[in-house]
């Protein structure tokens, strides 16, 4: 059952909860992306970082339309959509989305044209129009066009012999109206801007012009002998969500590959056009692309597709970036890096809590897998892979281990959204190397981040494990904030071994001592812990709940938090993205505070802390509080036991919730307000503080 069609849980008898107690999740997501846009607007941030946030905003919004808006439209068309938990009908949700998205895209374009472009020019980084170039610059770009662009362009005409061409999703295109010199009427043609070339082309030094402008000025070379009447830029977003019925599929990989081939032909859900587009050209695009609602058309000033600003962010100007952070080797792994002890010895001595990217992923998690691949005492390695990098040292180490005769099992999640093709390719490479590759449990995505190494020691087999909140991806580990635990605790090893058996074969014993595992244990386990805090509060004992998440939209969990708040439990929530809970409302959520922290790193870790009468219980793991994570994914949370780890997490929440820290505060009406106004000036940067504290405890690479 999809998360949208699930029945909204009723409040328990005798407990009055208002029907309008949830913020709409789609509008909450748009509010998150608005916070990203506010970073692009923040003049106290380094300029190229602001440009990067503008690019991220555009990329985020693309995915939102490809998946969330596309899915909502599909459900409305098929009659499957239901009233949302916020009380809006599907049509109302779509209308609210359209209104907010139009405002945000227009604001985004304005930020670029009125703020970022002039600020870049002041720093001698110019994004200019073709008309502003001198003759020599135009000639140089014309030569670049002839050698590097023209050979890969394919103009496609529309006439009785040439049907309207397929327009791929997110491609930037030029609509061209042309006229034969001896015939009446005019013809339409489409030219695709090559996505393989830099979107902004260097003129000289740090002076750039948009690629589509260069092509637009050279259209005569594509339609020789014809008269170019006009040309306009446009861009289409299509439904690129993926659906495979695993119960009906005889071969999951084959079914996925077939669906991936179909995905690029999904219906159009958004049409972006230049504000000056000719009405006749727009009417043609609407008809041929199947755009029926004018609300799906976005008329924008300036260049379309500002994801292309990533070209500008690559400019080597350290003065316009965040000050560099030196990655730290975790202090308990320092002797390992200096060859004074093995990583297995370090893990036997204590649990090691890692915090990326402040602490090096390469010299901790990657080093753990590489050491296991080389160690002759290691007999087996088991690991989950959800997303990984293009040239993955982790996968290379697993292949090396298999070649050395070790038993290697890898669970590859081939349904990881937008990484399906990459993961299918990795699965085949691993299989060819002799790795045992499995794809998890039918109907469930395997989202947990687990690695287990089995090593022969003193006549017995010893398990060493890593449990993380983020993916085994050395590239994203440089800018995703995540926690990971390296442990040799026997109880954790037994739990993970049991879970791997369930994932690779058949096992029905799903009881765990140190883990909470979805789809059967995370919601129920956390609900019990929330209820225990409510009981402590009602009995006058110390109580408190602190959560750090990417998303909080599960109604059952939110209702449990509401009940705990009514019982008097202080509740602090740090959420990066969506939050459907309404904090600070009298009689419902008076004791709940919600903050959001965005910055140079993408906040990605999930942490769950319960005061438990001053004997804290704390879990970290892969699960957000969403239906899909709790009901349709295999997720794991692992309990932290060491006193220093518990203190570290307590300090994390103290810093994150401080009124002196740069953050956004969620109000009961669903509005997010930036602390102390619309800028970061004078506030403590949480990520900067965490980097400083990590520097004090470790050593620089």
Read off the pTM: 0.90
DSSP summary character for residue 45:
S
pLDDT score for 48? 97
- Cβ–Cβ < 8 Å for 581, 589: yes
pLDDT score for 150? 95
* DSSP states along 581-603: B--S-TTTTTTEEEEE--SSSEE
- Asked if pLDDT for residue 385 goes beyond 90, the answer is no
- Cβ–Cβ < 8 Å for 306, 54: yes
Mean pLDDT calculated for residue range 526-546 = 97
Measured CA to CA, the distance from residue 531 to residue 153 in angstroms comes to 63
User: HSE of 189 in the Cβ direction (CA atoms, 13 Å)?
Assistant: 23
Rounded mean pLDDT of the chain?
Answer: 89
Q: Is 447 a catalytic residue?
A: yes
The winner for highest mean pLDDT among 173-182, 313-322, 611-620 is 611-620
Residue with token string 């985020």: 60
Mean pLDDT calculated for residue range 56-68 = 94
Mean pLDDT calculated for residue range 631-658 = 95
Measured CA to CA, the distance from residue 640 to residue 621 in angstroms comes to 10
- Asked if pLDDT for residue 350 goes beyond 80, the answer is yes
- Asked if pLDDT for residue 244 goes beyond 50, the answer is no
pLDDT in tens, 548-596: 999 999 999 999 999 999 999 999 999 999 999 999 999 999 999 999 9
Please provide residue 646's backbone torsions phi and psi, each rounded to the nearest 5 degrees. -65, -40
Lowest mean pLDDT among 238-242, 266-270, 466-470, 622-626: 238-242
Q: Which of 447, 466, 604, 627 is catalytic?
A: 447
Q: How far is CA 426 from the centre of its chain?
A: 21
Neighbours of 116 (CB within 10 A): 23
- Asked if pLDDT for residue 306 goes beyond 60, the answer is yes
Please provide residue 451's backbone torsions phi and psi, each rounded to the nearest 5 degrees. -140, 135
Measured CA to CA, the distance from residue 412 to residue 414 in angstroms comes to 6
pLDDT score for 185? 76
Instruction: Say if strands 297-300 and 200-204 run parallel, antiparallel, or are unpaired.
Output: unpaired
Lowest mean pLDDT among 147-161, 354-368, 566-580: 147-161
Helix axes 90-110, 25-41, angle to 10 degrees: 10
Residue with token string 């059967």: 520
Measured CA to CA, the distance from residue 573 to residue 16 in angstroms comes to 23
Residue 270: beta bridge partners? 237
Cα angle at 619 between 617 and 620, to 5 degrees? 155
pLDDT in tens, 453-499: 999 998 899 999 999 999 999 999 999 999 999 999 999 999 999 99
Mean pLDDT calculated for residue range 215-231 = 92
Measured CA to CA, the distance from residue 121 to residue 289 in angstroms comes to 38
Mean pLDDT calculated for residue range 335-345 = 93
Q: How far is CA 665 from CA 35, 51, 669, in A?
A: 11, 24, 11
Measured CA to CA, the distance from residue 461 to residue 454 in angstroms comes to 6
Please provide residue 227's backbone torsions phi and psi, each rounded to the nearest 5 degrees. -95, 125
Lowest mean pLDDT among 421-430, 484-493, 650-659: 421-430
Neighbours of 319 (CB within 10 A): 8
Alpha helices in 471-595 (DSSP H): 490-504, 522-538, 555-566
- Cβ–Cβ < 8 Å for 46, 320: yes
pLDDT score for 504? 81
**Helices and strands per DSSP (H, E), number in the chain:** 21, 29
- Asked if pLDDT for residue 72 goes beyond 60, the answer is yes
Residue with token string 């932290």: 640
């Amino acid at each position: 059952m999809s998360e949208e069609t699930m029945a909204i849980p009723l409040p328990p008898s005798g407990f009055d909860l208002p029907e309008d107690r949830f913020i709409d999740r789609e509008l909450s997501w748009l509010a998150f992306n608005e916070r990203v846009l506010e970073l692009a607007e923040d003049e106290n941030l380094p300029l190229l970082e602001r440009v990067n946030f503008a690019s991220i905003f555009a990329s985020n919004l693309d995915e939102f339309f490809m998946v969330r808006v596309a899915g909502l439209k599909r459900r409305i068309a098929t009659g499957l959509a239901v009233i949302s938990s916020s009380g809006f009908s599907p049509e109302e949700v779509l209308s609210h989305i359209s209104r907010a998205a139009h405002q945000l895209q227009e604001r985004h374009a304005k930020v670029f044209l009125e703020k970022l472009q002039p600020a870049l020019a002041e720093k001698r980084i110019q994004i200019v129009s073709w008309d502003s170039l001198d003759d020599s610059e135009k000639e140089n770009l014309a030569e670049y066009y002839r050698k590097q662009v023209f050979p890969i362009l394919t103009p496609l005409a529309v006439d009785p012999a040439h049907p309207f061409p397929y327009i791929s999703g997110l491609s930037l295109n030029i609509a061209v109206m042309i006229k034969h010199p001896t015939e009446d009427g005019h013809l339409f043609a489409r030219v695709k801007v090559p996505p393989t070339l830099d979107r902004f082309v260097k003129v000289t030094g740090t002076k750039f012009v948009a690629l589509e402008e260069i092509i637009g000025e050279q259209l005569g070379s594509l339609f020789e002998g014809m008269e170019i009447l006009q040309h306009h830029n446009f861009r289409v977003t299509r439904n690129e969500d993926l659906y495979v019925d695993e119960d009906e599929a005889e071969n999951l990989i084959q079914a996925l590959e077939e669906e991936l081939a179909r995905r690029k032909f999904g219906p159009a859900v958004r049409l972006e056009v230049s504000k000056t587009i000719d009405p006749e050209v727009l009417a043609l695009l609407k008809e041929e692309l199947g755009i029926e609602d004018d609300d799906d058309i976005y008329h924008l000033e300036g260049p379309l597709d500002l994801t292309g600003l990533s070209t500008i962010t690559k400019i080597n100007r350290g003065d316009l970036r965040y000050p560099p952070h030196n990655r730290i080797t975790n202090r308990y792994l320092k002797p390992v890096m200096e060859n004074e002890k093995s990583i297995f010895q370090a893990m036997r001595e204590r649990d090691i809590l890692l915090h990326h990217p402040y602490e090096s992923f390469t010299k901790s998690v990657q080093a753990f897998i590489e050491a296991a691949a080389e160690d002759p005492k290691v007999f087996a390695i088991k690991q989950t892979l959800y997303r990984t990098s293009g040239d993955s040292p982790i996968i290379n180490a697993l292949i090396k281990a298999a070649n050395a005769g070790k038993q290697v099992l890898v669970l590859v999640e081939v349904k990881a959204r937008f990484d399906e093709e990459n993961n299918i390719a990795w699965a085949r490479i691993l299989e060819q190397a002799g790795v045992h590759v499995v794809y998890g449990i039918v109907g469930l995505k395997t989202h947990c981040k687990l690695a287990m190494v089995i090593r022969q020691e003193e006549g017995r087999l010893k398990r060493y494990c890593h449990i993380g909140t983020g993916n085994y991806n050395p590239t994203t580990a440089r800018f995703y904030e995540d926690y990971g635990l390296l442990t040799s605790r026997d109880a954790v090893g037994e739990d993970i071994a049991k879970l791997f058996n369930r994932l690779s074969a058949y096992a029905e014993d799903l009881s765990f001592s140190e883990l909470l595992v979805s789809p059967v244990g995370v919601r129920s386990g956390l609900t019990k812990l929330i209820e225990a805090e409510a009981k402590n509060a009602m009995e006058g004992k110390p109580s408190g709940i602190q959560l750090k998440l990417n998303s909080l939209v599960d109604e059952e969990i939110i209702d449990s938090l509401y009940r705990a708040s009514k019982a008097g439990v202080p509740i602090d929530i740090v959420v990066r993205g969506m939050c459907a809970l309404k904090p600070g409302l009298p009689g419902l959520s008076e004791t709940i505070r919600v903050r959001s922290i965005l910055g140079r790193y993408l906040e990605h870790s999930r942490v769950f802390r319960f005061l438990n009468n001053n004997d804290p219980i704390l879990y970290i793991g892969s699960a957000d509080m969403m239906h899909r994570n709790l009901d349709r994914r295999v997720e794991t949370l692992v309990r932290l036991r060491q006193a220093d780890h518990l203190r570290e997490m307590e300090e994390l929440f103290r810093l994150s919730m401080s009124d002196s820290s740069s953050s956004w505060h969620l109000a009961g009406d669903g509005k997010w307000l930036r602390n102390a106004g619309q800028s970061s000036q004078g506030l403590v940067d949480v990520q900067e503080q965490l980097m400083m504290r990590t520097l004090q405890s470790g050593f620089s690479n």
